[in-house]
A and B are shown apart, each in its own frame.
Chain A
């Protein structure tokens, strides 16, 4: 089996969440590759919506680093306005989306706005972009992020993108029309959310990662699934496709140091 990086494992896990024929709101960074991988494997009829005002039902003819690269506009299914892409989202046409964050809590609330200190702002982050919109309005969203104790916190400093708020029933009470986080893919494992409590539950650990490591990097007692598994490694076919779309390893490298 081919050696792979943590990022390649995460993208592959993300791609597998896309079902064939789904409308996917494709975010920046790793999700760009996740969508392309799904298109080229199990979900050839998936359609991608991009916040710049792009809809694609075929992969871009050349590798792209970002969604505004011109090959991503070539023979698009629709080139329109940001308002049009967001309208598809708001009307409920988007099945799944992917977002990241700097901080997350057990209910999947995400912060990409500001890390606070006791006397003010510690770190100003870039902000929502489309993340809040996706968390509010997509049919479901997947969260992809680095698993570190400073990021997996008991309470986020700012709710940029709402997850399940404080638990069961919260989204309905706030008037959110649908959705919520379906899972979290981290550098250490994969989580889903308990249908009753809406708390994050560990479903799988990545190869060579143990439960203690995950607990040590999480700021609350981790709930673990009765059927805990090992995250399946990317197949050779998946890796070959990823490397075709990210030939220099900009998003999924460096490939030389991290082995399976």
Chain B
């Protein structure tokens, strides 16, 4: 039997995310965002984190509001269906956090360079934009082959990536499906990976479909079994997006006292994801479960 990496979220966050870590989160952009891990980071009062991700929907705003982050390396920070993230706005406007402004393509290329073990990756994006003057990790360069201008994106190597997936084995083998965003690049670029799984399955289940494995299990440090870890974002095959939570959060986070009230109810008011789900209620969960099941046809890996 391979070594088991199963542990609780409390233990995984405590062990693998020290204060000051650079952490990739929300790598699915809108889907499979590890909200439960984010909330545990807040409960453990992590400080001076650098948050890395393209568009982490409203999770980055929550972490900023909780005082966990002092730096953000991202393409977009806000609330996808409502717009601005108010904690993010307040923190940047008051000078409390620094922002390294990326585009979706530059952050992807930065992570891809980190994943590939090279110092940078070239792109054609951002030429003529002010991102080149405000983000020191983007440099205009001359293509050695054509002589034309390129933008070099410096490699991004997060200390840890936290990825919510559908199922994993105790060894760290994990199946993810749906749109993957930058999950693959983030996993490969990061020094440590925490997998948060809706279901823990036998090793054989994972091995039966190796194309669906996110990264080799030897690169995974921890496996956490936590159903509904991505709520209110959607998890393909399990539950839909809970739009109302995003709308409610927009209202709550408009003022610091409003955010404090949300925070005391939904984050520090619960000790774990299980208590969070109790607070959410069974009826709400039932309404979000997928009702139109659509399994794929199995493929044959035989020899």
Task: Knowing A70-B240, A86-B108, A127-B75 are in contact, say whether A176-B184 is a contact too (CB < 8 A).
Answer: no
Q: A121 vs B234: C-alpha distance in the bound complex, in angstroms?
A: 34
Q: A171 vs B150: C-alpha distance in the bound complex, in angstroms?
A: 14
* Interface 9-mer from A34-42, A74-82, A237-245: A74-82
Q: A82 vs B111: C-alpha distance in the bound complex, in angstroms?
A: 12
* Interface 9-mer from B3-11, B84-92, B155-163, B270-278: B84-92
Binary CB contact string for chain A from 117 to 145 against chain B (1 if under 8 A, 0 otherwise): 00001111111111111011100000000
Query: Which residues of the other chain, B, contact A175 by a CB distance below 8 angstroms?
Result: 124, 127-128, 148-150
Chain B, range 69-99, C-beta contacts under 8 Å to A: 74-78, 80-81, 83-85, 88-89, 92-93, 99
Q: A137 vs B148: C-alpha distance in the bound complex, in angstroms?
A: 15
Whether A101 sits at the interface, judged by CB under 8 Å, is no
Q: Is the CB of A81 within 8 A of B181?
A: yes
* Interface 9-mer from A2-10, A50-58, A197-205, A223-231: A50-58
Whether A28 sits at the interface, judged by CB under 8 Å, is yes
Whether B173 sits at the interface, judged by CB under 8 Å, is no
Whether B22 sits at the interface, judged by CB under 8 Å, is no
Query: Which residues of the other chain, B, contact A67 by a CB distance below 8 angstroms?
Result: 30
Q: Is the CB of B103 within 8 A of A129?
A: yes
Task: Knowing A82-B181, A132-B131 are in contact, say whether A90-B105 is a contact too (CB < 8 A).
Answer: yes
Contact among A83, A165, A250 with B182 in the assembled complex (CB-CB below 8 Å): A83
Q: Is the CB of A52 within 8 A of B28?
A: yes
Whether A252 sits at the interface, judged by CB under 8 Å, is no
Whether B236 sits at the interface, judged by CB under 8 Å, is yes
Tell me the minimal C-beta distance from A188 to chain B in angstroms: 21
Q: How many residues of A contact B (CB 8 A)?
A: 54
Binary CB contact string for chain B from 95 to 134 against chain A (1 if under 8 A, 0 otherwise): 0000101111100110010000000000111111111001
Query: Which residues of the other chain, B, contact A121 by a CB distance below 8 angstroms?
Result: 92-93
Q: A68 vs B81: C-alpha distance in the bound complex, in angstroms?
A: 11
Q: Is the CB of A128 within 8 A of B234?
A: no
Q: Is the CB of A127 within 8 A of B77?
A: yes
Q: Is the CB of A129 within 8 A of B179?
A: no
Q: Is the CB of A126 within 8 A of B84?
A: yes
Whether B226 sits at the interface, judged by CB under 8 Å, is no
Q: A128 vs B130: C-alpha distance in the bound complex, in angstroms?
A: 11
Q: A194 vs B123: C-alpha distance in the bound complex, in angstroms?
A: 29
Query: Which residues of the other chain, A, contact B128 by a CB distance below 8 angstroms?
Result: 136, 159, 162, 165, 170-171, 174-176
Binary CB contact string for chain B from 222 to 234 against chain A (1 if under 8 A, 0 otherwise): 0000000000011
Q: Is the CB of B149 within 8 A of A125?
A: no
Q: Is the CB of A68 within 8 A of B102?
A: no
Q: A86 vs B74: C-alpha distance in the bound complex, in angstroms?
A: 16
Tell me the minimal C-beta distance from B129 to chain A in angstroms: 5
Tell me the minimal C-beta distance from B138 to chain A in angstroms: 11
Q: Is the CB of B29 within 8 A of A82?
A: yes
Q: Is the CB of A68 within 8 A of B234?
A: yes
Q: Is the CB of B125 within 8 A of A136?
A: yes
Whether A89 sits at the interface, judged by CB under 8 Å, is yes
Q: Is the CB of A70 within 8 A of B241?
A: yes
Q: Is the CB of A89 within 8 A of B93?
A: no
Tell me the minimal C-beta distance from B46 to chain A in angstroms: 23
Task: Knowing A124-B89, A127-B76, A128-B103 are in contact, say whether A90-B129 is a contact too (CB < 8 A).
Answer: no
Q: Is the CB of B179 within 8 A of A126?
A: no
Contact among B78, B93, B294 with A74 in the assembled complex (CB-CB below 8 Å): B294
Query: Which residues of the other chain, B, contact A250 by a CB distance below 8 angstroms?
Result: 81
Q: A81 vs B103: C-alpha distance in the bound complex, in angstroms?
A: 15
Contact among A61, A73, A159 with B179 in the assembled complex (CB-CB below 8 Å): A73
Whether B185 sits at the interface, judged by CB under 8 Å, is yes
Whether A177 sits at the interface, judged by CB under 8 Å, is yes
Binary CB contact string for chain A from 64 to 101 against chain B (1 if under 8 A, 0 otherwise): 01111110011100011111001001100000000000
In the complex, the chain A residue whose C-beta lies closest to that of B57 is A68
Q: Is the CB of A79 within 8 A of B29?
A: no
Whether A113 sits at the interface, judged by CB under 8 Å, is yes
Query: Which residues of the other chain, B, contact A133 by a CB distance below 8 angstroms?
Result: 103-105, 125-126
Tell me the minimal C-beta distance from A40 to chain B in angstroms: 21
Q: Is the CB of B125 within 8 A of A53?
A: no
Most B-side CB within 10 Å, residue of A28, A61, A81, A132: A132
Task: Knowing A70-B236, A73-B178, A137-B124 are in contact, say whether A129-B129 is a contact too (CB < 8 A).
Answer: no
Residues of A within 8 A of B (CB): 28, 50-54, 61, 65-70, 73-75, 79-83, 86, 89-90, 113, 121-133, 135-137, 158-162, 165, 170-171, 174-177, 250
Q: Which 5 A-B pairs have the closest CB atoms?
A: A68-B30, A175-B149, A129-B76, A126-B78, A174-B128
Q: 16 other contacts beyond A124-B93, A129-B103, with CB at 8 A cut-off?
A: A52-B30, A69-B234, A73-B31, A79-B177, A82-B108, A82-B180, A90-B124, A123-B89, A124-B92, A126-B78, A136-B125, A137-B124, A159-B128, A165-B128, A174-B149, A175-B124
Residues of B within 8 A of A (CB): 28-31, 54-55, 74-78, 80-81, 83-85, 88-89, 92-93, 99, 101-105, 108-109, 112, 123-131, 134, 148-150, 177-185, 233-234, 236, 240-241, 243, 290, 292, 294
